Amino acid sequence: MSEPKQLNVGLVGAGVVGGGVVKHLTRNADLITERLGMRIHLKWVCDKDESRLKDLPIPVQHLTGEVQKVLQDPDVHVVVELVGGTGFAKTLILDALNRGKVVVTANKALLAHDGEELFSAAAKNSSNIFYEASVCGGIPIIKSLREGFVANHFPIIYGIVNGTCNYILSRMTADDLHFEEALEEAQSRGYAEANPALDIDGVDSAHKATILASLAHGFWTGFENTYVEGIRQVSRLDIQIARELGYTIKLLAVVKSDGDGNSPAVEVRVHPTLIPHSHVLSSVNGVFNGVVVNGDVVGDTMFYGRGAGADATASAVISDLADAALNLKFGSKQRVPAFVAHRLHARVRTIDDVESRYYLRLTVEDRSGVIAKVSQILGDADISIASVLQREAPEPKAGHTEASSGTVPLIMMLHTAKDRAVREAVAKIDGLSVVKYKTVVIRVENFDATTK
């Protein structure tokens, strides 16, 4: 039997990323063919908004607004889903898989919420799902975890995985901006949406953390089990104090396991984090992403690059198409399965049981006895204070609650404690009459010596 000479692709969703895929597949078609020994052919490009199709460098007979033309075409080997969302996209992917077609997707939200169902459908239909573009854009983190590090357990994964948040925090750090100022700048540059909630509330990062945790540990951890905090509460003062203490504040995704056996407890969390200046992730700035993977065999590896945008994401989609093409060429759709469930008794550790160090910023009345009241509550909870810093009230600015007339910021660094104990103690502290605003709590990550 002769080898197939091309991979026929139906691409659904010709927006920013879809348009980028078309552009780069067309521009670098000969290079890709030389490297693969077969051509990737865009048999269909589909979008319900047909105005997106008119300027694509694709013959008109291969353009359509009807998704069923793509799904029902028996010559289409791969369906690329780039429409986003969790409604139509899920129906589209399941339909494609049930027809035996391979799927390529960048849909992190859908995978985080419904990955278990989708990958089960792929296995049932002897098909496959490729999803490199769902996490960190052009950084090949999925392929590395799935193939390059196949011999490894993963005790720790740390990631800065959202470019919007990283840009905002980087600008706050570099130019002493307030959060609102940095966000407005990010929006003006196109790095943040008009409604930036998905990014700045940590949800986008949590989708990616859920995918990484599930792939790394061989069971679906569940998006609902990923602890999420965003960056809205991080102030200019927090950035300044962190710098004085030797830290940089980043929105960090953390995946940790307590063992290598079949029933580990895995914690999956996303929140602002104080990172020591000496750690490599503290220097990941702007819209860039960075992921540190600790494998029990390979040790520490660092992945760095653009985590979003048409070009970076298109590069990841095309790399998945290349894998699908090689699978077709050698007659194996599932040469490397999309997901292998191999830890059936593992569990997710809740945030209550996570242990960390903590930074607290209280806004308190400027009078004696305040520190004693706060220390008493922490002491009763068996939480040890590492250091206390008191600052003069910063210059007031409308809309900011770092401090106000008659109050001062009080900063406490705590030794390692359980998260639940700290949160319960802070709730009691916030109930004191001398505390005027809700206390800001930021975790301090204890990086292992091998990840510095």
- Residues designated as active site: 208
**Contact by Cβ (8 Å): 317, 80:** yes
**Residues 425, 314: Cα–Cα separation, whole Å:** 47
Residue type, 361: R
> Among residues 434, 24, 426, 388, which one has the least CA distance to residue 233?
426
